[in-house]
Structure 1
Amino acid sequence: MIAARASLLSLSLVIVAPLTTAALAEEAENVATVHGLSLYDDPALPADFTHFPYVNPEAPKGGRLVRSAIGSFDTTNPFIIRGTPATGLAQIYDTLMVSNPDEPFSMYGLLAEGIRLAPDRQWIEFDLHPEARFHDGEPVTAEDVVFSFETLRDEGQPFYGAYYADVTSVQVLDEDTVRFEFAENNSRELPLIIGQLPVLPAHFWADREFTAPTLEPLLGSGPYRIAAVEPSRRIVYQRVDDYWGKDLPVNRGRYNIDRLIFDYYRDQTVALEAFKAGNLDMRIESSARQWATAYDFPAANEGFVKRLSVPDGQPAGMQAYVMNLRRDKFRDARVREAINLAFDFDWLNDNLFYGAYQRTHSFFENSDMAAQGMPSEAELAILEPFRDELPARVFEEPLPIEQPEDMRARLAKALELFRDAGYEVRDGVLIDSRTGRPFTLEVLLFDTQFERVVQPLLRNLSRLGVQGSIRTVDVNQYLNRLRSFDFDMIVGSFPQSANPGNEQREYWTSEYADSPQSRNLIGLSNPVIDALVERLIRAESREQLDTAARALDRVLRWGFYVIPQWFLGETRIALWDKFAYPQPFPEYNLDLDAWWVDPERDTAITNRQRR
């Protein structure tokens, strides 16, 4: 993650003079040391909890889990801009705190044995477990925490700069204590965000370049280590038998499977056949058609393969066709609205998706943060200062946006919008009357499975004279084009948690519009949206957060920046029936780390596959 710089580390150490350390200690003296934090109230689990309530603390260890990854990889460093990282690398790193998948807004100490948060949330201190160790036996220290934060912020992906923007300083107080100080108007969530910091070994990176891709098995302190790397083919993780944190309450009953293996395949079709042949143990199915039709094969009919649908307790977020505003042709909102009108979700759902999906409307779909109807008084209080800079429709028309049901009427409306924007149809081709150039649109993909979904959209657009095409490339080329924003339209996603916060900067704000590999895929650079994002981040209550999210959602939706697609509200899992798992599932997140291999069923399946 971070190429070590001795200067960074030494700087962090000399910042804290003895007098400053004493003053900080006095300030923290009256602040209680706690085992966890919650966003608004106290965490649900007491200080003496022994394990997360949903896990099986007696789950057996052993076995392996083989899953697929699509494409290829060329680095084991997931934190930098360069390279395509292997799947699963988070398993080798510990963080300061960890979420409970059965709670929406709480985190508990992992590397942090104790936590002190200022009453005004202006600073936080972490006491590290003295026994915390990296896989080479070296202790995890406060210096490693400072090194990790500064390196990720300064040399990592743009995401980290956005996430940590309101941290004003980080200081080593002693070998096992680190302190973060925050800007005056920091977000309420920021202390929990800092708790998610992956801690990297400063000594390991001291003679390595952090920003260069590598295939070296990198060093961490987590429950797994990298056991084998076969570039573009396979990566294997081995459970660490002497993992320092295996008996912590947040880990007991978790990380039960000995080997986690990710085999790489060209596309999902090949991966599905590998699963049916028994070469893969589990598959998270993204295709409604495959879920409905592809699991009628001997092993499934004999009961050796089963399927699960696990409810998703998080907001659905936004999956969409994303238009690139860095292209001049998409800068007119009338053009973007016209393209939206050509999307026929109902036809897709009836003819390709077996009626499995619901239409997405909101960037915070399936949550109380989704804007509905006309703006409330609380929303208007946020939006009114920007009335002159926003479309009148934000204030005058309700959500969801109404569209004619009949496709002919929708395309007629789309053509009218194109004409208002300066286009005309000549000999069946939509032409920019100012330049004489035809309107072309290329959808960039990396998975052939999605081509059949894109084609109906392009077919409808062709009726308007748009010259549309699909370009399907390998994953590495796709990522390279994504990093440089070299696309007209892609299928992108903006996932959301139950508590959106600092990550919204990277999704929507001007600072990240031209930052390579940022998640501002649209290329948004709008001062009003920037201000709305900051309002959301700095919300002081759940009510304020919901209202700020609805105001932002309303403005984004009336911008027609994306064509919203669909959501399911559950995770579809197909698996060879050798796994056991706690039930009921945790409410807010699927936790595969709490699963284990059942030895008897594993033997039965192995014998069946050897026939």
Structure 2
Amino acid sequence: MGYQPKYPASFTHFDYVNPDAPKGGDLTLSASGSFDKLNPFTLRGRPAVGMGYSANGFVFSEYGLVFDSLMTPSEDEPFSNYGLLAQDAALAPDRLSITFTLNPKARFSDGSPVLAQDVKHSFDTLMSKQAGPTFRSYWVDIKDAVVVDDRAIRFDFKRRNSELHMIIGQLPVFSRAWGKGKPFDQVVTEPPIASGPYVIDKVDFGKSITYRRRADYWAADLPVRKGMFNYGTVNYQYFKDKLGEEESLKAGMLDALEESSILAWVRRYKGRRFDSGELVKEEISHRRPTGMQGLAVNLRQARFTDARVRQALALAFDFDWLNAHLFYGRRGRTQSYFQNSDDLMARAEVSQQEQMLIDGLKNKQRFLDNVKGQLPRPASTGDTADGLRRNLVRAQALLREAGWVYRDGALRDSAGTPLVINLDIADRSSETVLAPYARNLGKLGISLQYRLRDASLIKKKLDEFDFDMAISLQGGSSSPGNELFDDFGSKSAAEKGSQNLSGISDPVIDEILEIIVDSPDRKSLAAAARILDRYLLHQHYVTPMYYGKQYFIAHKQYLRHPVAPLPQRLLAGSALLTMWWIDPSEKK
């Protein structure tokens, strides 16, 4: 993406892996909730963890165990792709098509060769209505997939797009034989026929799933897979809540657990096995782009369409108190949709390049009307005793301006309807964060009612946009592009199952997204991302929450991982699968 890739053609492995890591051993991990399908690409149902994809949350294939993609990114660069299923990629001089030549060694788990016809089948299937909507949004500018011959396939583009040749390389490929010709949305419990390092070995729906490493994995010695996917089996046990996972770890039933609650990490990760050294606690710092984690309101409801109401909701969130009393100072405040990507985050001053982009907008006046004053920063209560009170007084004034009045014990609109906000949560750990927020909102006359529900039910409601407020994560890519259409584009606002939970629909945003995906180089892309970030922040679409500055992982002492250099794009969960290994001399 506009720079020289880090690794030369002669590289033998990524720097962040141990190429000599031993293979074998059984890894047991946990998952929350339940699952009811083995097809991660359809919208209905909940796929088993370990697949690496979901229909409304597309991620890179390297985070999963079953599917290989045409190319794979490195984790220590903003965005560079290297060959996996494709041994060669040729971008046309006019940049309107790219042709991939498949590696002749590539084999599916049933032993059949990976052919161009399978690649086309995978693309056509994922772009159909039988798959989730994210894929259609992500690859919207691809016109067609054309089989050149058995081992060559060409993707034709509708228009020039600076990253399209990169993101089509992320296409997960599966065999035409998967499902035996059934409509794709009816392929539910049939194990995938794919070319990845693992196959599904055992399934107990809703309770557990075991993946077995393929002894015949065709890519084991490729530079992009050397030293990776080292376990003989990976087993996931499902639990109804996080406390059950913690107790199972302390009882020795799990090999590792990534903890998201700092309160739990500090107070509960103790006991005999930690004292003896059988279990080890590690805090791994990172600089991974984290995006905007926040509380998103549903703009499809008229009561949330006024930005003053949304800003008032954000003023009631007291991060400073939470960080001091619950997070032990280990959280950072989210201030950007591209948090931790320094060149993508909006700055206090508008650069000359940003100003040129703003001046060139067709919707320039709308941009200027909606971006006034200084760059918004999340409200802080600071060190003063009256910090929260000051923020709530300001919130009260904004609500009054928006037509809301406090009467008979509640904040009410002109029709007398009280402002009651429902929020579903899948884990009790969220309650400790939401309880103080609910108290603060209560001082404004707003009732926040949060309920513990099954994760699959929450997903279904979010897919249907049947919610008031939801915990949301948007943005966050180190090289943003086509995925932003699904996050913020007007078209995705009405597409059930999209990532645009809020229902954002704004011609200014649509225009900026086009500029981002058309950016010819990193410098231009970064400038466009900064004006998008600035515009989004001024709209107060979400209440910014916080981000983790490190990963908290407790694990058996015989698990090993590379020490340095840690990749900048490190994801703890995927690294545990891709980069760690079991030391056979230490496992008894």
Query: Taking structure 1 as the reference length, what is the TM-score of the superposition?
Result: 0.89
Letter of the structure 1 residue corresponding to residue 416 of structure 2:
G
SS state at 1:65 partner: strand
Matches within 5 A, 1:40-189: 40-89=2-51, 90-154=64-128, 155-186=130-161, 188-189=162-163
Question: 1:35: which partner in 2?
Answer: none
After TM superposition, give the deviation of residue 375 of structure 1 in Å: 2.3
Q: Does 1:595 align with 2:572?
A: no
In the TM superposition, residue 497 of structure 1 has moved relative to its aligned partner by 2.0
Query: Are the counterparts in 2 of residues 97 and 107 from structure 1 also a CA contact under 8 Å?
Result: yes
Unaligned stretches of 5+ in structure 2?
52-63
Are residue 576 (structure 1) and residue 563 (structure 2) matched?
no
Q: Deviations over 1:141-195 (max 9, x none)?
A: 0001111111101132111011101112210000000011223331x22111011
Deviation at residue 212 of structure 1 after TM alignment: 2.5
Q: Which has the larger radius of gyration?
A: 1
Matches of 2:513 and 2:190 in 1, distance apart? 39
1:131 is paired with a residue whose SS is coil
Alignment of 1:157-236 (within 5 A): 157-186=132-161, 188-212=162-186, 214-236=188-210
C-alpha displacement of 1:213: 5.5
CA apart distance, 1:86: 0.5
Q: Amino acid of the residue matched to residue 341 of structure 1?
A: L
- Deviates most, 212-221 or 233-242: 212-221
| Bigger mean CA deviation after superposition, 213-222 or 93-102 | 213-222
Query: 1:374·1:395 contact (CA, 8 Å) conserved in 2?
Result: no
- How far the C-alpha of 1:582 sits from its partner, in A, is 2.0
Deviation at 1:452, TM superposition (A): 1.6
Provide the residue aligned with 2:213 in structure 1: 239
What SS does the aligned partner of 1:600 have?
coil
1:392 Cα shift?
Answer: 4.1
Q: Where do 1:186-585 residues align within 5 Å?
A: 186=161, 188-212=162-186, 214-367=188-341, 368-384=343-359, 385=361, 386-390=363-367, 392=369, 394-400=371-377, 405=382, 406-433=387-414, 435-584=415-564, 585=566
Deviation at 1:399, TM superposition (A): 4.1
**1:41-94 deviation line (CA, Å, top 9, x unaligned):** 332222232222332222211101111110000001101111101100131111
Cα distance in structure 2, aligned partners of 1:248 and 1:60: 16
Give the equivalent residue in structure 2 for 1:607.
none
Determine if contact 2:177/2:193 at 8 Å carries over to the other structure: no
Evaluate the alpha carbon distance shift between residue 404 and residue 93 of structure 1 in structure 2; reply closer, same or farther with a 3 A threshold: closer
CA–CA distance in 2 between the matches of 1:468 and 1:254? 45
Task: Report the CA distance shift for 1:427/1:280 in structure 2 as closer, same or farther (over 3 A).
Answer: same
Q: Distance in 2 between matches of 1:99 and 1:133?
A: 21
Counterpart for residue 61 of structure 2: none
| Deviates further, 230-239 or 105-114 | 105-114
Tell me the alpha carbon deviations over residues 387-412 of structure 1, each in whole angstroms, 9 at most, x when there is no partner: 43246462432343666651112111
Q: Partners in 1 of 2:381 and 2:94 — Cα distance?
A: 51
- Answer whether contact 1:444 1:488 (CA < 8 A) is retained: no
Q: SS state of the match for residue 283, structure 2?
A: strand
AA matched with 2:511: A
My pick for the range that moved more, 415-424 or 500-509, is 415-424
Give the CA deviation at 1:119: 3.6
Amino acid aligned to 1:396: G
How many residues are treated as equivalent by the alignment? 563
How many angstroms apart in 1 are the aligned matches of 2:7 and 2:443? 59
Q: Which residue type is aligned with residue 102 of structure 2?
A: L
Most deviating of 384-393 and 417-426: 384-393
Unaligned 5+ runs, structure 1: 1-38, 604-611
SS at match of 1:512: helix
Using the TM superposition, give the Cα deviation of residue 260 of structure 1 relative to its aligned residue in structure 2, in angstroms. 0.6
- 8 Å contact 1:373–1:400 — kept in the other structure? no
1:438 CA displacement: 0.9
1: CA distance between counterparts of 2:71 and 2:207? 33
After TM superposition, the score normalised by the length of structure 2 is: 0.93
Q: How far apart, CA to CA, are the structure 2 residues paired with 1:403 and 1:244? A: 53
